[in-house]
Structure formats: structure tokens, C-alpha cells
A = this chain, B = another copy of it.
Amino acid sequence: MNPLFQQPLKVVNAGLAGFAENLKQAQGDVIPLQWQPPAMGNIQAGLDLAALIAHPLVEQANQIAFERYLSAQPVLVDVMSAAEAITAMQQRKLILHSGPPIAWPEMCGPVQGAIIGAILFEGWAADHQAAERLVLDGQVDLEPCHHHQAVGPMAGIISPSMPVWVIENKTNGQRAFSNFNEGLGKVLRFGANNDEVLQRLHWMKQELAPALKQAVRQLGELELKPLMAQALHMGDEVHNRNAAATGLLIKRLIPALLSSQLPLETLQRVMAFITGNDHFFLNLSMAACKAMMDAAANVPYSSMVTVMARNGVNFGIRLSGTGEHWFQAPANAVEGLFFPGFGVDDAAADLGDSAITETAGVGGFAMASSPAIVKFVGGTPADATNNSRRMQAISLGGNPAFTLPALNFAPTAAGIDARKVADRQILPVINTGIAHKQAGVGQIGAGITTAPMPCFVDAISALAKTLPAGESA
């Protein structure tokens, strides 16, 4: 005991602030404990959490779900129209959007603008007013991409004639889809819907997609996990930064395109479009992540998060053990840097399906691989490695397919465990672009945000109710 009392005392006060007063008056060094009760202090949720923690059914289910996620082999196998890929689109006028379900009147500006644009693009209406009337009359169904094995960045709009990437998980044969990336500037995903935007979408459908379909056929199949893994060693986190991954994709596409018998002018336009857009790979990354997470879905009792997505108003998550149910809460603010002339008052709420990358252990979870992104969103490389390390505390394990050079090639933290999020009060970190709240203005910044805690607390309570009778709290 002697050495303890020979050094100056450092006291941690875990009780009421008043407990520390006497010590402070005696010049003592007192640090108040930064502690909040788990599950946001909600007593029922706390009991639900206690029922789930270390529960053998949950532990076993998580092992199965995590193993299915790890063993997924997402492969680019085809390019199709959305209507070919998504059968529901063959039966009714259906437009998909990002995030959890939301009704037209509640949607944010960029999503409404993008839906109007998609209706014009499909030729279902001749002008904006007619397009909006169609929606208000209930003649167009609006549903989440995630309800149809699909994902889309920002507004995430997918309409029947748009081309989609077709990703197949070779382990279970299931497919996932995403739209094509339009580049920066005035684009549908930020709610722009003028002639420039619609003409680009028509060109993508008529020239880009058929060319890429031929190239993919030429390639046979393209395994996406090794490509993403390589990009993680080249400064990408394959969410907000895809410069290396796009380059690696281009290296694979060029020889295939050059042997595809396409006219030279087509090749020129296709390659100019792809080489001019460092985000081109993003939608492939998202669809690959969707395929990995769908593999882990629907394992009863599993507390593994399989979806995180934003519709510009609410943030929604799904757990493996609660199937298709969404747990939603208002989206947290984005902390980041704004482009000159814009500020926080101009920003739409957090938006897009792209948080599927964080759900799959890349993006913000792999930030240590992408110091340049941290600088872009206003942090330091040390923040990046700290974020990647912190995510280990809320994850089921590491993904050895995705390693981080800056952490001595440690695997990325992967498989978010909703129990750990609620218990440890550490929120999943998400890299994101910031959209202007008005349709069509476009990206006005980038930053880091978190998934909101109520989603996880509600999900925990719902999962606890699925436990065999008498076991839930």
C-alpha cells in the first residue's frame, strides 16, 4: 500500500458532484466520471439489454450472421435495366428512394426533386406539375431501395429504365443492385432534375449502360472484395473516397471495352465519363456491401445491424434478428466542412443508403485507411485511426478481407452489435457528403456523422421480445 499513498492522489468521482467538494477544497485532483446509464437511461430498455447481453441464443445467432457476412463473395456479374432486375417494377409504376420508408409530404427537398426528375425521365409526365400530381394521386409507388435488394447514394432514386449494377453473392446466389453514379455537379441524386440532368440519364441508359454490359460480359465476372481491399491500401475508404477503386476498376474495364467491338466514339465518351468521376466506384462499393449484409440478414435472435440508411429526415436501421423491421429516429447533424458560400443552415439532413458501407465495416469504420478523407471532412489522421479503433468496441469482430495499413494491417471492425452500441454508448461513425436542403443545388460539404442512439435502443427492446417466453425482461 505504501507507494500508493506516497504519490499525489488522483481521485475519480463516480457519484454526485457534491462528493468531490471536500477533496477539491483540500487541493485534491478530482476527475468526474463521464458516465451515462446504458440504453439512454430507459429502465425497460436497460432490462431488455441486460436480457440480451451474453445470452447464448444471441451469441450463437451473431456468430452465424457474422460468419455469413464474412464469407460473402460479391461479384459484379451484369448490367441491366432496373425493371429487368427488380420484378416489382414490371407490375406497377415504382420508384425507389434511399433510407427507411417515408411518405411524399414528409420527404426532403432533394428526394422530392429527384423523384420528379425520375418521373420525367420515365416519360410518365410531361412537366413538374403533372409529375407531382401523379404522385399525389397515388399513381406512383415510392418505396425504399432496401425493400428491393437495392441501394442508392443520397436521394437514391432508381426508376425502371435506369441501368443498375448487378452484384451476386457467389456464396448464396443472392443478388444486390445499385444505380450508376452520375458524377458531381447538377445530378439527380442531389435532387436536380433539369434538362442537363435528364439528358445525362438518357445517355447513361442508351450508351453507357450497354457499353458496360458488354465490358462486364467480356470480363466474365469481377470480384469486388479484393478490389475494395486493394483500394483500402491506396487511401480509399470506399465510401466518400473512391479514387483508387475507380482507377482499379478502369484498369479492368479498358481492355474489356477495347475488345467489345463498340464504335470509337462510344469508347471515347464512356471513358471520358468514367475517368472524369473519382466517385464512379461508389455505387459498386455500396451494392457489394449490400450483398454482404443481406447475407447476414434474418438470423433469429441476432443483434447484428444489417442496414443503416437515411431518407433525409430519419435514420433507420435493421437488425438481423428482427428481419425487415425498421428502427428509426431523426438523423443526427453532420459535423463537417462546408464549401465556400454554404453553411449548416443550408444543409439537408443526413441522406442516402451509402451508410451500408459503414454497416459492412468500411467507410467511416475504415477511416484509418484514408487520412485524406479525414482532412477533407475537417479532422486529422490521428482522428482517423481513433475512429477505426473506437468502432472495434461496438463490433462483433474484424473482417480479415479488409485490412488497414495505418493500424499495422489490422482487420476493419465489422458487424455492428446493437447491444454494444446501446451498452457502451458509442455510436457508429459515418462519413458522408452534405446535400443542400433545396432540390438540385447539389453537394455543399462533407463530414462525419453518427447513427442516432434511439434506433439502437428501440431495436434492442424489439429483439428482446423475440426471446423465448420468460427470458425477456
Contacts and interface: CB of A to CB of B under 8 A. Distances in A.
Q: Which of A247, A252, A372 has the most CB of B within 10 A?
A: A247
Interface stretch (A90-98, A265-273, A286-294, A333-341): A265-273
A381 B408 CA distance: 6
Given A405-B371, A408-B381, A268 B272 contact: no
A251 interface: yes
Interface string A244-276: 100110111011001100001001100110010
Complex copy number for this chain: 2
Nearest to A405: B371
Nearest to A371: B405
Q: 5 closest pairs, A vs B, by CB?
A: A247-B247, A371-B405, A234-B235, A234-B234, A251-B275
A375 interface: yes
A268 B254 CA distance: 9
A90 B133 CA distance: 78
Contacts of A134: none
Contacts of A248: 247
A382 B405 CA distance: 10
Contact of A406 (B252, B275, B406): B406
Interface string A107-144: 00000000000000000000000000000000000000
Contacts of A258: 264, 267-268, 271
Given A375-B405, A375-B409, 5 more contacts: A233-B235, A234-B235, A254-B271, A255-B272, A380-B408
18 contacts: A233-B371, A234-B235, A235-B235, A235-B244, A247-B247, A250-B250, A251-B275, A254-B271, A255-B268, A255-B272, A258-B271, A259-B268, A371-B406, A371-B409, A372-B405, A375-B405, A380-B408, A381-B406
A98 to B, nearest CB: 29
A219 to B, nearest CB: 13
Interface string A402-419: 000110110000000000
Contacts of A251: 247, 250, 275
A243 interface: yes
Given A250-B251, A251-B250, A254-B254, A235 B268 contact: no
B254 A250 contact: yes
Contacts of A380: 408
Contacts of A272: 255
Nearest to A252: B275
Nearest to A244: B234
A45 B251 CA distance: 53
Contacts of A409: 371, 375, 381
Q: Which of A235, A271, A409 has the most CB of B within 10 A?
A: A235
